[in-house]
């Protein structure tokens, strides 16, 4: 029998004897670690086992309680999950929100939606308000410009010190690498798109990626690995980078910068950061009477169907991602331990188009 099972058996017997009924509360993890001489992880496994059996429940920042105790269970002071997104109403986020709302509402939680517009100053104002209000049960957040140094890291750490659980969407900041992330496997997605193009016979493949978030960096890393493993090698002249400001200020990113056209010349295929950029490339090439390279992209959004010739785009697990993030934040609020998860892209469209 494993150590955690032995501990769970002993604690179960003590619970059934009423050993903790005077307080209605289990000793702290630290106390149990000292008592049994095992790791904190072993104690957590034993507690998790007893939680699943219905003997225990946990309240974030309060402790582990005996379900059968007559002692009144402490109640959460808030049932609000603050959800911070770069943008709320456009692109893929409405479906992510739908997944969150369904899961959270079924457990009696509500969502307070706020957007940063991918601006660090707005993110700071939002985090300061969360700290000052102090009434969020948990926070689900899409980081702002996660590939750049962020001056708000100390505010995230303050939120953690307050005992408010955090779940990051898509990626976190390098300084907060231990936080729970629910995202897509962007590296693998970039690699799969290159592999698809190589199988179709392309040898001159370019890419355009977003430089100020880590999703763009990971997608580029997968793109590069795909080229190397396919024996095509790397060529910086075939890669274009853009930022949030490029997109927001111009809304004519492709038309406004001749460098993009220079990079596209001679290419037969392009991997795009997302479907919005894919649409722009196609329309810009058409307007300039340039041959349109074969375009592949990420997200499988409505944008992929806007053109006369739809491009191939792998599917983001939008609603499932939102639901998973909600489940994790609820478990963390109840005192449970969670790990990060990166979901596989839906690549069925790649097989269908071969």
Domain at 332, CATH number: 3.40.50.2300
- With a cut of 60, say whether residue 1 has pLDDT above it: no
d(CA 253, CA 245): 10
206-220, 264-278, 337-351, range with the lowest pLDDT: 264-278
Closest CA to 101 of 323, 303, 348: 323
**Residue 199 domain-assigned (yes or no):** yes
Whether residues 191 and 295 share a domain: the answer is yes
Higher confidence at residue 309 or residue 299? 299
pLDDT score, position 75: 47
pLDDT score, position 289: 81
d(CA 103, CA 56): 22
d(CA 174, CA 54): 37
Each residue of 78-130: pLDDT tens digit? 689 999 999 877 678 889 999 999 999 988 999 999 999 999 999 999 999 99
Structure tokens, 196? 């698809």
43, 82 contact by CB (below 8 A): no
Whether residues 236 and 215 share a domain: the answer is yes
Whether residues 273 and 325 share a domain: the answer is no
Residue position matching structure tokens 């980078």: 241
In DSSP terms, 316 is beta-bridged to none
pLDDT score, position 73: 45
**Residue 128 domain-assigned (yes or no):** yes
- With a cut of 60, say whether residue 253 has pLDDT above it: no
d(CA 311, CA 74): 54
Q: What is the mean pLDDT of residues 252-266?
A: 57
Structure confidence at residue 68 as a pLDDT band (50, 70, 90):
low
Non-local (6+) Cβ contacts of 112 within 8 A are 80, 81, 82, 83, 136
pLDDT score, position 168: 98
In DSSP terms, 181 is beta-bridged to 168
Whether residues 129 and 250 share a domain: the answer is no
pLDDT score, position 283: 82
**Residue 126 domain-assigned (yes or no):** yes
pLDDT score, position 15: 85
- With a cut of 60, say whether residue 72 has pLDDT above it: no
- With a cut of 60, say whether residue 256 has pLDDT above it: no
pLDDT score, position 269: 95
Structure tokens, 9? 């058996």
pLDDT score, position 23: 66
Whether residues 128 and 178 share a domain: the answer is yes
pLDDT score, position 262: 61
In DSSP terms, 64 is beta-bridged to 58
**Residue 24 domain-assigned (yes or no):** yes
Non-local (6+) Cβ contacts of 109 within 8 A are 79, 80, 81, 137, 326, 330
Residue 36 is part of a domain; what is its CATH number?
A: 1.10.10.10
DSSP letter, residue 23: T
pLDDT score, position 249: 53
d(CA 32, CA 38): 8
Q: What is the DSSP string of 227-255?
A: HHHTT----GGGEEEE-HHHHHHHS-HHH
Reported residue count of the chain is 354
d(CA 96, CA 111): 12
Per DSSP, helices labelled H in the chain are 3-16, 29-36, 40-52, 93-106, 120-133, 153-161, 186-199, 214-229, 244-250, 253-256, 258-264, 275-287, 318-333, 348-352
**How high does pLDDT run on average in the chain?**
86
Structure confidence at residue 74 as a pLDDT band (50, 70, 90):
very low
92-106, 260-274, 320-334, range with the lowest pLDDT: 260-274
Percent of the chain with pLDDT over 90: 53
Whether residues 233 and 310 share a domain: the answer is yes
Whether residues 220 and 301 share a domain: the answer is yes
Whether residues 311 and 201 share a domain: the answer is yes
69-83, 161-175, 290-304, range with the lowest pLDDT: 69-83
- With a cut of 60, say whether residue 252 has pLDDT above it: no
How far are the Cα atoms of 73, 201, 227, 279, 317 from residue 305, in angstroms, in the given order? 52, 24, 27, 9, 18
- With a cut of 60, say whether residue 188 has pLDDT above it: yes
What is the SS3 assignment for 177? Answer: coil
Structure tokens, 313? 């785009």
The answer to whether the Cα torsion of 49, 54, 55, 61 is positive or negative is positive
Number of compact structural domains in the chain: 3
Residue 15 region, left (φ>0) first, then alpha (ψ -120 to 50), else beta?
alpha
- With a cut of 50, say whether residue 202 has pLDDT above it: yes
**Residue 350 domain-assigned (yes or no):** no
Whether residues 99 and 150 share a domain: the answer is yes
**Residue 33 domain-assigned (yes or no):** yes
pLDDT score, position 93: 86
Closest CA to 326 of 114, 167, 134: 167
Structure confidence at residue 162 as a pLDDT band (50, 70, 90):
confident
Whether residues 113 and 162 share a domain: the answer is yes
Q: What is the mean pLDDT of residues 146-151?
A: 96
Residue position matching structure tokens 């505010």: 155
d(CA 213, CA 145): 5
Structure confidence at residue 60 as a pLDDT band (50, 70, 90):
low
Structure confidence at residue 335 as a pLDDT band (50, 70, 90):
confident
**Residue 72 domain-assigned (yes or no):** no
d(CA 335, CA 105): 19
pLDDT score, position 250: 46
Whether residues 46 and 110 share a domain: the answer is no
Residue position matching structure tokens 């274009």: 240
**Residue 26 domain-assigned (yes or no):** yes
DSSP letter, residue 22: T
56-60, 70-74, 339-343, range with the lowest pLDDT: 70-74
Whether residues 193 and 304 share a domain: the answer is yes
Domain span at residue 193? 186-316
């Amino acid at each position: 029998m494993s150590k955690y099972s032995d501990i769970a058996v002993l604690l179960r017997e003590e619970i059934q004897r009423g050993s903790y009924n005077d307080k209605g509360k289990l000793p702290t993890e630290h106390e149990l670690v000292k008592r049994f001489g095992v790791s904190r992880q072993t104690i957590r496994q034993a507690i998790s086992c007893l939680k699943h059996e219905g003997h225990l429940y946990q309240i974030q920042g309060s402790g582990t309680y005996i379900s059968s105790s007559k002692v009144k269970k402490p109640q959460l002071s808030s049932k609000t999950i603050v959800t911070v997104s770069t943008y709320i109403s456009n692109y893929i986020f409405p479906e992510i929100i739908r997944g969150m709302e369904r899961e959270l509402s079924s457990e009696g939680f509500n969502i307070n939606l706020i957007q940063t517009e991918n601006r660090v100053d707005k993110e700071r104002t939002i985090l300061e308000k969360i700290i000052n209000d102090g009434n969020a049960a948990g926070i689900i957040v899409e980081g702002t410009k996660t590939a750049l140094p962020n001056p708000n890291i100390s505010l995230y750490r303050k939120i953690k010190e307050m005992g408010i659980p955090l779940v990051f969407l898509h990626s976190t900041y390098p300084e907060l690498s231990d936080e729970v992330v629910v995202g897509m496997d962007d590296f693998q997605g970039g690699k799969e798109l290159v592999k698809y193009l190589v199988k179709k016979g392309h040898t001159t493949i370019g890419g355009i990626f977003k430089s100020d978030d880590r999703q763009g960096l990971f997608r580029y890393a997968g793109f590069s690995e795909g080229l190397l493993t396919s024996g095509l090698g790397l060529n910086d002249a075939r890669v274009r980078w853009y930022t949030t400001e490029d997109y927001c200020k111009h809304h004519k990113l492709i038309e406004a910068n001749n460098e993009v056209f220079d990079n596209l010349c001679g290419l037969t295929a392009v991997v795009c950061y997302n479907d919005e950029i894919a649409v722009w490339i196609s329309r810009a090439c058409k307007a300039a009477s340039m041959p349109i390279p074969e375009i592949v992209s990420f997200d499988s959004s409505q944008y992929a169907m806007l053109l006369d010739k739809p491009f191939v785009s792998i599917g983001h697990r939008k609603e499932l991602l939102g639901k998973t993030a909600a489940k994790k934040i609820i478990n963390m609020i109840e005192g449970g331990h969670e790990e990060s998860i990166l979901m596989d892209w839906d690549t069925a469209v790649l097989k269908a188009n071969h």
